[in-house]
């Protein structure tokens, strides 16, 4: 048990504390050895500066040496966000990107931003309403079929270096797209085009064909605490 100590010039015993500038509980640290507070950085004065990264001109476009297949799936948050982040990175190197969204419709925050980037093509194939797994509406089936046709053209033609099929896994799970159609699309892919499939519930047949599979695992979510989706964070 640590004894209370009296420092010169004080009126009573002081207890050792734990935290910034103090010794851990169980050890006594004199005032002469107490750590000094760190100087707070002012970002407008002390932050390092870096040269501006210029997007290469269209004439300087460099194709990927080899195009792979990614799958981002699982019940955790971040699957679509991972795809959007890849687009931002690819544009920084002058690559041409295509984002095809299934079951989504609207000018979400990411769409508003990606539309401003050079070399990014966006298509949406969603009706704007909830899709029932057991009884999908004909409108949803037709939109999904049109999205697959567009995706085949995007991955075959060589016009795009990166193709993101956002929520295509979910469209398969909800019966909008046959697994065989996505497997055929993967087979027809240009060998120098990177293909990314997002959405929860990716079938094993698709994961077996992919080069990279990431399973997002949800440990905690603000929804469970009663916090609704916030613009700029969730959409």
Give the mean pLDDT of 73-89. Answer: 95
Q: Virtual CA dihedral for 61, 64, 69, 74, nearest 10 degrees? A: -60
Distances 128 to 102, 113, 124 between C-alpha atoms, Å: 10, 20, 10
| CB-based burial, 157-171: b 16+ in 10 Å, e otherwise | eeebbbbbbbbbbbb
Cross-strand pairs, 73: 215
Rounded to the nearest 10 degrees, the angle between the axes of helix 179-188 and helix 138-157 is 20
Q: How confident is the model at residue 19 (pLDDT cuts 50, 70, 90)?
A: very low
Q: How confident is the model at residue 133 (pLDDT cuts 50, 70, 90)?
A: confident
Q: How confident is the model at residue 34 (pLDDT cuts 50, 70, 90)?
A: low
pLDDT score at 16: 43
Residue 189 pLDDT more than 60? yes
Q: How confident is the model at residue 186 (pLDDT cuts 50, 70, 90)?
A: very high
Residue 167 pLDDT more than 50? yes
Q: Greater confidence, 29 or 213?
A: 213
CATH of the domain spanning 62-225: 3.40.50.300
Give me the percent of the chain exceeding a pLDDT of 90. Answer: 58
pLDDT score at 147: 98
Residue 119 pLDDT more than 90? yes
pLDDT score at 232: 73
pTM above 0.75, yes or no: no
Q: What are 56's two structure tokens?
A: 């290469």
pLDDT score at 54: 63
Q: Where are the domains of the chain?
A: 62-225
- Which positions ≥6 away from 132 have C-beta within 8 Å? 174
Residue 29 pLDDT more than 90? no
Residue 156 pLDDT more than 80? yes
Q: How confident is the model at residue 141 (pLDDT cuts 50, 70, 90)?
A: very high
Gyration radius of the chain's alpha carbons: 26
Residue 42 pLDDT more than 60? no
pLDDT score at 85: 96
pLDDT score at 229: 77
Q: How far, in Å, CA of 171 to CA of 217, rounded? A: 20
pLDDT score at 135: 85
Query: Whole-number mean pLDDT of the chain?
Result: 82
């Amino acid at each position: 048990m640590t004894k209370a100590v009296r420092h010169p010039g004080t009126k009573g015993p002081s207890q050792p504390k734990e935290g910034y500038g103090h010794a851990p509980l169980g050890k006594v640290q004199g005032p002469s050895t107490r750590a000094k507070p760190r100087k707070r950085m002012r970002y407008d004065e002390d932050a390092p500066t870096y040269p501006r990264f210029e997007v290469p001109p269209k004439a300087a476009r460099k194709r990927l040496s080899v195009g792979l297949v990614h799958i981002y799936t699982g019940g955790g948050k971040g699957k679509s966000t991972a795809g959007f982040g890849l687009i931002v990175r690819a544009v920084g190197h002058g690559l041409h990107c295509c984002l095809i969204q299934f079951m989504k419709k609207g000018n979400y925050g990411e769409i508003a931003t990606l539309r401003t980037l050079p070399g990014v093509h966006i298509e949406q194939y969603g009706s704007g309403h909830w899709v029932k797994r057991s009884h999908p509406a004909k409108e949803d089936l037709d939109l999904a079929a049109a999205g697959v046709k567009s995706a085949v053209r995007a991955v075959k033609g060589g016009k795009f270096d990166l193709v993101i099929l956002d929520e295509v896994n979910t469209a398969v799970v909800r019966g909008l797209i046959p697994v065989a159609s996505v497997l055929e699309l993967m087979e027809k892919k240009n060998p120098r085009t990177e293909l990314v499939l997002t959405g929860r519930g990716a079938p094993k047949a698709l994961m077996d064909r992919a080069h990279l599979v990431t399973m997002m695992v949800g440990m905690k979510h603000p929804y469970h605490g009663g916090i609704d989706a916030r613009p700029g964070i969730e959409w």
